[in-house]
Amino acid sequence: MLIYGITELSNLPPDTISELESDIAQCTKCDLSKTRNFTVPGDGHHNSNLMLIGEAPGSNEDKTGKPFAGRAGSLLDELLVGSGIERSEVYITNMLKCRPPSNRDPQLSEISVCERYLDLQISLVNPSVIVTLGRFSFAKFFPHLKLSQSRGTVRDWKGIKILPVYHPAAALYNPSLKPKLIQDFQKINTLLYKKSNTDLSDIQTKPNTQLNLFE
Ligand code: URA
């Protein structure tokens, strides 16, 4: 709601992703707002069936306002294309919408104040599949599980299929993780075309065609 962003007279949630992104641009709820250049709310298709959630903006993202704008983003693009998915068809965001100084890990207090924005994004985009990139976004959904033991395994969270994968940046530092990322990304196609978790006969894969990720 415009009135929410401008006057703060009301606590009504925004009606659209664009309104929410305007609210995020004005956020001063934590100290990261003092050191950021740009907020990095999210990017991509506002009604995609597929949402990707990373960790936090780095320096390239802070300069551009776009998530996954650096080397990890190039690898992410490669992984998506390898799975038959265009980045423009997906909604991509992060746990934090502002860059932590020196790219340090997000703090629990920052995650906690920023989480409301992520919850609103999930509710507005309404994806059927969420791919969590790295341990911080996986922990939002399954805080008691370890990513190394859970990657590639799909779990239900409030009716949404959650697919945890390693963070692309981890594969830049440790190339032995890249084949695991490629393997896990290959599952997205099947998930998007599976009508229910229990009826495997309903799987409709379209391996050699462009996916349609929108309703
Ligand atoms: N860029 C992002 O936007 N998020 C990450 O988690 C890493 C790089």
Tell whether ligand 1 has an atom less than 6 A from the beta carbon of residue 67. yes
pLDDT of residue 205: 34
The pLDDT of 71-85, averaged and rounded, is 96
pLDDT at position 164 is 98
Q: Which atom in ligand 1 lies closest to the alpha carbon of residue 67?
A: 3
Percent of the chain with pLDDT over 90: 83
Higher pLDDT pick, 201 / 92: 92
- The tens digit of pLDDT for each residue in 153-162 reads 999 999 999 9
**Average pLDDT of the residues in 87-110:** 97
106 lines ligand 1 (CB under 6 A): no
What is the 209 CA–ligand 1 centroid distance (Å)? Answer: 28
pLDDT of residue 12: 83
Pairing state of beta strands 160-165 and 155-157? antiparallel
CA separation for the pair 177, 196 (Å, rounded):
30
The 10s digit of each residue's pLDDT in 32-51 is 999 999 999 999 999 999 99
Tell me which residue has tokens 């976004």: 137
> In ligand 1, which atom is closest to the CA atom of 167?
6
**Does pLDDT of 184 surpass 90?**
yes
| d(C-alpha 100, C-alpha 61), whole Å | 11
Q: What is the pLDDT of residue 203?
A: 32
- Nearest-10 Cα torsion for 23, 28, 30, 31: 140
Rg over CA atoms, the chain: 17
The continuous run of DSSP H or E covering 94 comes out as: strand 91-94
Q: How far is the CA of 13 from the centre of ligand 1 (A)?
A: 26
Domain boundaries defined on the chain: 29-192
Cα torsion through 129, 19, 133, 106, rounded to 10: -140
- In terms of pLDDT, which residue wins out, 6 or 95? 95
pLDDT band at 131 (very low <50, low <70, confident <90, very high): very high
CATH superfamily of 29-192: Uracil-DNA glycosylase-like domain (3.40.470.10)
Greater model confidence, 8 or 178:
178
Provide, rounded to the nearest whole percent, the portion of the chain with pLDDT above 70.
Answer: 85
Q: Is the pLDDT of residue 198 over 70?
A: no
Mean pLDDT of the chain: 89
CA distance 45 to 36: 25
More confident call, 38 vs 5: 38
What secondary structure letter does DSSP report for 158? T
- Give residue 202's pLDDT: 34
